Structure 1
């Protein structure tokens, strides 16, 4: 990733239907999305000039907004087209794509039914979420203090900005202790996910993953489950207790940013970077490549 601050990158950002210079993509300090977290976003990746599962991401952006009680004033097709056009304008083949929608600044207070709904897309180069060398050896996770909330207390099925506050706190705390990330439990004390990625475990050739009933059912998560089943691997979605970590042989994370990342350690528990994790990492890398690029090889 570039060492240049994000607000000083070059290029353009699509904002409310227009392409504007990166430095000119600004909002007012009293924007409702800043004060009350009334914003939703997506994380996507482009590989070889094509954005992986773009429409699926855009549909989820719309659904997240619906859950938060607002409607994005641009259709799925319009946002898809804007993402593709902006990718070309930026001149990137491999890049990270960040669409976001939020309530504006007309009203200040918890109630903001009449605020304008804004939408923007930014694209930048982001090679790897975790250190590439460490990723091959398996990253180390701490145990997070905060837990994923009860769905009755937060809109857990949306990719809403406010849900990531405890993720930032937890990741910062883990990094301060030398870890790459943190594993979060849910409000029941069951294993949930990492701060920005879903988690999988392997035991006796079977893959186990927490049931996504209080956190985001990631698009990468679903993709990797499909890839595993294509190989005849059994995938069990269930409640996982933290004491079960001692019995698992392998562990890996999945997410748009994380892709498929093996884990070697979670607190006191150790895991091998085994064949199933390595195979799914390779299968995912192959799956995200554009079909025309594969055909050309």
Structure 2
């Protein structure tokens, strides 16, 4: 994941931390927190447009859902998270940028069981531009597979689930492309390391089911925009050999927005009319 040039722990500004605004450099956690050792923190990624967070309520609700799927409750309501986010965006004087809420289990116990840990929450907001530097990106198929929903809480935006994403992304960058396309445990097309997948086939949009992926807020938004344009959207199992049927491929996500894909492995795709329309429609919506 590309980020700002400045180190994330050495910046001016404030972070909302357990109900209070604290100076950026003082927002710290102990090295023995449970989530650092066992990967059970949950987080969100949100975009700021014209000083407002796009679909803030949906993101705050999903943070609660993610925590619940990992068997804990957040100590702040959805409404409190919304207000805190608006405050931290305002205090950091951001007209555009990125918001990162995070919830984690504390250092009260160490060991596999998390019973007895206190839940902490922070919200940071900072400037951030385009996720990729290219108009259209290239992907390589990863050796890492999305696990079965019986093996992981796929609908949770949990930190531990991103281990294979980091491995896949770094291997893709080392191969000279911008990201990786992941298959799932059955060998079906799944998603990129941090974004959902869409294929344009015969004038329709096809996207994998949500069995093993996060049902992205941007994914849902783009599906709504496509249907408003009269474009049929099909959620189904999609297999790798079906890439040959696609005339266009793009990714969606809060960070990536609507991102054209020019190639997957050796197969090339155009940045065609459906992709261009979704880019335009999404850009207009988030800035409306």
- Quickly name the TM-score band, shorter chain normalised: over 0.9
Q: CA deviation at 1:2?
A: 3.4
Q: CA deviation at 1:38?
A: 1.3
Q: CA deviation digits over 1:186-231, x for unaligned, max 9? A: 0000000000000000021111111111110000000000000000
Instruction: Select the structure that is richer in helix.
Output: 1
| Residue 45 of structure 1: aligned partner | 47
Matched, 1:249 2:251: no
Matched, 1:164 2:162: yes
Equivalent in 120, 123, 127 of residue 122 of structure 2: 120
Q: CA deviation digits over 1:227-273, x for unaligned, max 9? A: 00000000111111001111210000000000000000000211000
Q: CA deviation digits over 1:66-92, x for unaligned, max 9? A: 010000000100010000011000001
Q: CA deviation digits over 1:28-68, x for unaligned, max 9? A: 00011100011100010010011000011000100110010
Counterparts of residues 226-265 of structure 1 (less than 5 Å): 226-265=224-263
Q: CA deviation at 1:113?
A: 1.0
Matched, 1:154 2:152: yes
Q: Give the whole-Å Cα distance in 1 for the aligned partners of 2:206 and 2:144.
A: 23
Provide the alpha-carbon RMSD of the alignment: 0.7
Q: Give the whole-Å Cα distance in 1 for the aligned partners of 2:276 and 2:215.
A: 22
Counterparts of residues 28-39 of structure 1 (less than 5 Å): 28-39=30-41
Q: CA deviation at 1:289?
A: 1.0
Structure 1, unpaired ranges of 5+: 291-297
Equivalent in 168, 175, 178 of residue 176 of structure 2: 178
Compute the TM-score of the two structures, normalised by the length of structure 2.
Answer: 0.98
Q: Give the whole-Å Cα distance in 2 for the aligned partners of 1:264 and 1:141.
A: 8
Q: How many residues are treated as equivalent by the alignment?
A: 286
3-state DSSP of counterpart to 2:88: helix
Structure 2, unpaired ranges of 5+: none
| Residue 194 of structure 1: aligned partner | 192
Q: Give the whole-Å Cα distance in 2 for the aligned partners of 1:2 and 1:44.
A: 15
Compute the TM-score of the two structures, normalised by the length of structure 1.
Answer: 0.95
Q: CA deviation digits over 1:132-169, x for unaligned, max 9? A: xx12xx10001111010000000101110000000000
Q: CA deviation digits over 1:277-296, x for unaligned, max 9? A: 01100100011114xxxxxx
Pair 2,152 (structure 1): closer, same or farther in 2 beyond 3 Å: closer
Equivalent in 132, 138, 141 of residue 139 of structure 2: 141
Runs of 4+ in 1 over 2 A off after TM superposition: none
3-state DSSP of counterpart to 1:146: strand
Q: Give the whole-Å Cα distance in 2 for the aligned partners of 1:203 and 1:62.
A: 36
